Amino acid sequence: METQKQKVLLIKLSSLGDVIFNIPLANALKGAGYEVTWLVSEKGYQVVKDNPCVDKAILAPVVKWKKRGFSLESFKEYLTIVKQIRDEKFDIAIDSQMMLKSLYWMLFCGAKRRIISKEAREFAILGGNEWIDDISYAPDSPIVLNYLKYAQYLGINVDSIKVSLPARSKDTVERVDKFLSDIDKTKPLVVIAPATTWVNKHWNKDNWRMVVDNIAPKCNIVFTGGAGDSELIEYISGGKFLNLAGKTDIMDLMEIFSRANLVMAPDSGSAHLAWATGNPAVVTIFTCTPKQVLAPFGNPDKYVALGGEGMSCQPCFKRKCKLKKNHNACTAFPNPKDVIAVIHDLIF
């Protein structure tokens, strides 16, 4: 008689990068024989839905609720999802979000064991009934490995890091074929995603421009980003090259990044999504966040993190720079010449 699998609820809502950092954890749980359900918000849903690392993805539309503000309609939607979760009768819930927005799910999920790290913020620790030691943002400890401590706590031997993404549909492949139809296939493809949601994670735009001017004769350059990034991209590119800002969704980006020789970005969801595809070299620019923790994990000859050091305040891990003099000074580093040298070593 086949033993029934234990059911695990993984609560990691956002952001895209953090969702990607948890994929190895989900794979470790699934590989150990657990049935894995992932509660995720809109930002990471496309990465989780149909991903072989999970059996089921449940969408918590927190972005929609935040835009709408508190309302009876949102509360009813929340209760409907809570009922769906409780009906699953989970054996274990893991809260790797560790914040107030996950507390409301953890408290009422109905799981027998509710596991969370002691470092949880915003009273989220109250959602657990089992607590493990601090897991994240330890100096020099990659966040991917830190999240795997939840698996190790359950007695799972993690001897490899498995990253997976959903397969792209035929429509996605054909759309990307069309986007890239005019590139010179005899030259390497470099994708640059220069923007993210934290302004002080942005590298100096003139530094970007110097890099682009240097490498442009030797490769195809494609820019990606949101619709609001077009002005920045137009400045960096000088109005040249293929600009896909606002024209792609997450599935499109997976396909584009998987075809690239190199992806270059600040510490952002784009950098981590490029890493998760497994194909391109990834150059990540760090300013205010710790590269030892958040850089794409793995082969240092393929994944290169630059910046994030040289000033006494780095890494501050703050959304807004606290310096009154030399405001956002860290965004001027690294030197573009160093970045150009790395790119040449990787693909030319």
Q: What is the spatial distance between Cα 305 and Cα 150, in angstroms, rounded to a whole number?
A: 26
pLDDT one-digit tens code per residue, 237-288: 999 999 999 999 999 999 999 999 999 999 999 999 999 999 999 999 999 9
Mark whether 323 and 191 lie in a shared domain.
yes
Claim to verify: residue 134 and residue 262 sit in the same structural domain: no
CB 284 within 8 A of CB 276: no
Are residue 194 and residue 343 in the same domain, yes or no? yes
State the average pLDDT over residues 187-192. Answer: 98
pLDDT at site 138: 58
Mark whether 147 and 274 lie in a shared domain: no
pLDDT of residue 4: 80
Q: Are residues 310 and 175 in the same domain?
A: yes
* Domain finish residue from 153, 181, 198: 153
How is residue 149 written in tokens? 């401590």
Q: Which has more pLDDT, 308 or 271?
A: 271
Return the CATH number at 252.
Answer: 3.40.50.2000
Domain count, the chain: 2
- Residue at 55 is within a domain: yes
Give the max Cα distance, the chain: 70
Instruction: Provide the residue range defining the domain that includes 249.
Output: 170-347
Q: Say whether both 185 and 311 belong to one domain.
A: yes
142 and 276 both lie in a single domain? no
* Residue 165 resides in a domain: no
Final residue of a structural domain among 122, 153, 184: 153
Region 30-37: mean pLDDT is 97
Residue 2 has pLDDT above 70, yes or no: no
State the pLDDT at residue 324.
83
Task: Give yes or no: residues 182 and 145 share one domain.
Answer: no
Whether residue 1 lies inside any domain: the answer is no
Q: How far apart are CA 40 and CA 47, in angstroms?
A: 10
Degrees, nearest 5: CA angle 271-276-279: 90
pLDDT at 43: 94
Distance CA(48)–CA(251), nearest Å, equals: 11
Instruction: Based on the fold, state whether residues 130 and 189 are members of the same structural domain.
Output: no
Map tokens 């539309």 to a residue. 61
Instruction: Determine the pLDDT at residue 1.
Output: 46
- Give the angle 168-169-173 at the CA atoms, nearest 5°: 80
Q: Find, among 147, 37, 144, 53, the residue nearest to 92 by Cα.
A: 37
pTM, entire model = 0.94
Last residue of a domain, one of 127, 153, 179: 153
Same domain? For 51 and 125 the reply is: yes
Same domain for 188 and 337: yes
Instruction: Give yes or no: residues 296 and 215 share one domain.
Output: yes
**96 within some domain:** yes
Question: Prior bond to 312 cis, omega within 30?
Answer: no
Amino acid in the structure at residue 322: K
Task: State the Cα torsion 78-63-29-277 to the nearest 10°.
Answer: 150
Mean pLDDT for the stretch of residues 209-231: 96
Q: Report the C-alpha gap between 328 and 182 in whole angstroms.
A: 38
Q: Is residue 202 part of a domain?
A: yes
Q: At what angle do helices 170-179 and 250-259 cross, to 10 degrees?
A: 60
Given this model, what pLDDT does residue 98 score? 95
Question: What pLDDT was estimated at residue 137?
Answer: 56
